[in-house]
Amino acid sequence: MARESKKAKRERAIEVCDRMGQHYADAKPALDFTDAFTLTIAVLLSAQTTDAAVNKATPELFARWGTPEAMAQADPDEVAEVIHSLGFYKTKSRHCVECARTIMSDFGGQVPSTMEELTRLPGVGRKTANIVLNHAFGQVEGIAVDTHVYRIATRLKLTNASTPAAAEADLLSVIPSELWGRVNQEWILFGRQVCTARSQSCGDCWLADICPSAGKTGNPTAKRRPRRTRG
């Protein structure tokens, strides 16, 4: 098979986004939040677990420590008890408290609104920062590459990167900036409903005609699982 040109890959990526937009026009964030702080914490907690699980844990969490001021004074062990149903809850509880303390000490109690400042918060990486910037501040600086986006981008041959961070750079190079903000929410739905981690429903997929992996068995990402990184 001839190597795909950058122009052709870009055109295919745009077509993917167009079709995603048609199927998931009403896509909304799956995590429950009320402001920039609760969004930051919810996304931080969502690493290596489901949004549904996070939404079950956060009502009590935010009722007790729903502001940076309150969370900064919390005992990490008490936070851990509230979120114990989530994966890596001890590390996440520590990050929640440290994140709030940094917001209080370095940013005057307000969640920062730049990529550079957000990624200074404990437990917050580019994925989390991209989501917070998009949904809390209406700013789009990149694409939040979670496990779903990474898997789909790999199967679509839009990246062959070994990490989500590197995959983001590849996606930014072939997807126009005006489409970046939609990718995470729409591709997550596609990854949950059609192109799942365990199977590919190629026969029912409306991307099959432009997907190089359509009809092929196996998971292209299985042989090179990315190292777990900060959200």
Report the catalytic residues.
Answer: 127, 146
Q: Is 80 helix (H, G, I), strand (E, B) or coil?
A: helix
- Which residue in 137, 115, 136 sits closest to 126, CA to CA? 115
- Which residue in 12, 6, 15, 21 sits closest to 184, CA to CA? 21
Task: Please name the amino acid found at residue 118.
Answer: L
Residues 6 or more apart whose Cβ sits within 8 Å of residue 168? 126, 142, 143, 145
Backbone angles phi, psi at 70, to 5 degrees: -70, -45
Separation CA 77–CA 219 (nearest Å): 38
